[in-house]
């Protein structure tokens, strides 16, 4: 409807115009009002030299930070794959900025991870190796990362958007006093050396590019499988910079007493699977997912689902693909009875090959599909399974 403007209160500051996310507000001034505003602007605007001095001070502050860092997340000496994916992406940023790509390795007996990081493209690794860092605890790791930042001043830090990465990145950004963009799906460098951090916003309806142009380091988290794995070159080498961090066990309030693995009833790893057969609302019922399981078995893959199928109770939440589910990047993704809402697409559109089966030829899933089959899934899926079995004989 028509917006209601309280004219006695509106001072024409135009703030509402600037903050309206839909850019739906415009403000017009009469020529007389415009004249008054111009006068005020002239009086209030800082002198040109002042602005230049401010810009120069900012440029100097930012220029003190150089280099791209990737935090290597590890549990009991084993790295999370997302860290290597980030090294692949970090290498592109480092090339664009003409700076080194470094890995941050923190833990106990984790030096081998520095070598792994070199194999995935890092040329330096900052290593903090001590018993106090055996298990992840926010306080200890926060202090270790902060010490490194203070000493070496990187311009970019990337972390995986895992439970650990989200926790650590948020804590570091808060203490350092810089910006953090979570769950980025795209990273690039602009012409002023700023990091352009792209991520879905407003429920995935728009892609927002977020900048942190007045503070350093620029920090981003990226979910697993969003970025491609770089090549592994066992010959890759680099420099290990050993650092100590004066964190004492008695200063850390959190103690790890025992590690209990969370063995869930549903052990299927959708995010890591190479072949995924996903079903949506078009599957019409829980029992029909057996048909998808049969096809998945032939491919050596797993069954995934859209949110509608999960909400209907046909599949457990762990199987959901999309913005509020898993991000996947399999060799083949077969979408059965899935319309292709943006929130689903952001979770699977980087799959190597996408095969969509849908009876509606206008369904948006076909826009991202490598191969599209328009027709009734209840006929098509068993036919594909049959054919695969024939081929195997």
Quote the least distance from Cβ 129 to ligand FAD, whole Å: 39
Q: Are 368 and 340 in contact (CB under 8 A)?
A: yes
* CA 373, chain centre distance (Å): 31
Q: Please, which residue, 37 or 201, has the CB nearer to ligand FAD?
A: 201
Measure the CA–CA gap between 76 and 132, rounded to whole angstroms: 13
Among 90, 179, 280, 372, binds ligand FAD (CB under 6 A): 280
Of 164 and 377, nearer to ligand FAD (C-beta) is 377
As measured in angstroms, the least distance from the Cβ of 105 to ligand FAD is: 33
Nearer to ligand FAD, 105 or 310 (CB): 310
**Closest approach of ligand FAD to the CB of residue 198, in Å:** 18
Q: How far is the CB of 270 from ligand FAD (least distance, A)?
A: 12
3-state class of 15 per DSSP?
helix
Neighbours of 323 (CB within 10 A): 20
Of 354, 353, 326, give the one whose Cα is nearest residue 340: 354
Question: Judging by beta carbons within 10 Å of its beta carbon (0-12, 13-18, 19+), is residue 246 exposed, middle or buried?
Answer: exposed
Residues in the chain: 393
Applying CB under 6 A, among 121, 224, 282, 301 the residue interacting with ligand FAD is: 282
And the tokens for 331? 């060799």
Report which of 74, 65, 72 is spatially closest to residue 102, judged by C-alpha positions: 72
Binding window for ligand FAD (CB under 6 A); candidates: 214-222, 246-254, 261-269, 274-282? 274-282
The answer to whether the beta carbons of residues 171 and 226 sit under 8 Å apart is no
**Residue 140 vs 310, nearer CB to ligand FAD:** 310
Contact code string over 43-82 relative to ligand FAD, x by CB under 6 A: ----------------------------------------
Distance CA 165, CA 371 (A): 36
- Name residues contacting ligand FAD, limited to 348-367 (CB under 6 A): 357-360, 363
- When asked if residue 288 is in the footprint of ligand FAD (CB under 6 A), the reply is no
C-alpha closest to that of 218 among 360, 99, 347: 99
- Residue 347 CB, nearest approach to ligand FAD (Å): 6
Compute the least distance from the CB of residue 311 to ligand FAD, in Å. Answer: 8
Q: Which of residues 296-335 bind ligand FAD (CB under 6 A)?
A: 306-309, 320-325
First to last CA, the chain: 66
Is residue 193 within 8 Å of 95, Cβ to Cβ? no
Site for ligand FAD in 173-232 (CB under 6 A): 203
376 interacts with ligand FAD by CB under 6 A = yes
C-alpha 64, offset from chain centre: 27
Minimum Å gap between C-beta 294 and ligand FAD is: 17
Residues near ligand FAD (CB under 6 A) are 203, 280-282, 306-309, 320-325, 337-339, 341, 343-344, 347, 357-360, 363, 376-378
């Amino acid at each position: 409807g028509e917006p209601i403007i309280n004219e006695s209160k509106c001072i024409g500051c135009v703030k509402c115009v600037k903050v309206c996310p839909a850019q739906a507000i415009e403000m017009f001034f009469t020529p007389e009002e415009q004249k008054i505003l111009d006068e005020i602007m002239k009086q209030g605007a800082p002198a040109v030299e002042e602005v230049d001095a401010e810009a120069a001070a900012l440029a100097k502050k930012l220029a003190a930070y150089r280099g791209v860092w990737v935090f290597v997340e590890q549990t009991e000496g084993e790295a999370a794959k997302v860290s290597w994916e980030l090294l692949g992406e970090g290498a592109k940023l480092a090339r664009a900025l003409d700076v080194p790509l470094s890995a941050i390795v923190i833990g106990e007996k984790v030096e081998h991870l520095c070598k792994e990081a070199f194999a995935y493209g890092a040329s330096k690794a900052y290593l903090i190796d001590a018993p106090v860092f055996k298990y992840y605890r926010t306080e200890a790791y926060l202090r270790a990362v902060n010490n490194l930042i203070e000493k070496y001043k990187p311009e970019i830090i990337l972390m995986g958007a895992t439970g650990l990465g989200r926790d650590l990145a948020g804590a570091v950004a808060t203490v350092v006093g810089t910006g953090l963009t979570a769950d980025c799906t795209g990273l690039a460098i602009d012409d002023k050396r700023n990091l352009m951090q792209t991520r879905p916003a407003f429920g995935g309806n728009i892609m927002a590019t977020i900048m942190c142009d007045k503070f350093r380091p620029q920090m981003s988290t990226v979910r697993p499988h969003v970025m491609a794995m770089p090549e592994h070159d066992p010959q890759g080498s680099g420099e290990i910079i050993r650092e100590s961090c004066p964190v004492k066990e008695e200063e850390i309030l959190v103690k790890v007493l025992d590690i209990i693995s969370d063995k869930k009833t549903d052990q299927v790893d959708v995010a890591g699977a190479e072949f995924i057969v996903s079903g949506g609302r078009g599957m019409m019922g829980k029992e029909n997912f057996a048909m998808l399981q049969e096809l998945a078995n032939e491919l050596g893959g797993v069954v995934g689902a859209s949110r509608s199928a999960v909400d209907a109770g046909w599949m457990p939440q762990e199987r959901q693909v999309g913005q509020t589910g898993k991000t996947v990047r399999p060799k083949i993704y077969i979408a059965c009875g899935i319309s292709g809402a943006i929130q689903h697409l952001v979770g699977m559109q980087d799959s190597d090959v996408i095969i969509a089966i849908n009876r509606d030829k206008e369904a948006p899933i076909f826009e991202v599909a490598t191969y599209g089959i328009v027709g009734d899934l209840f006929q098509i899926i068993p036919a594909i399974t049959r054919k695969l079995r024939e081929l195997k004989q």
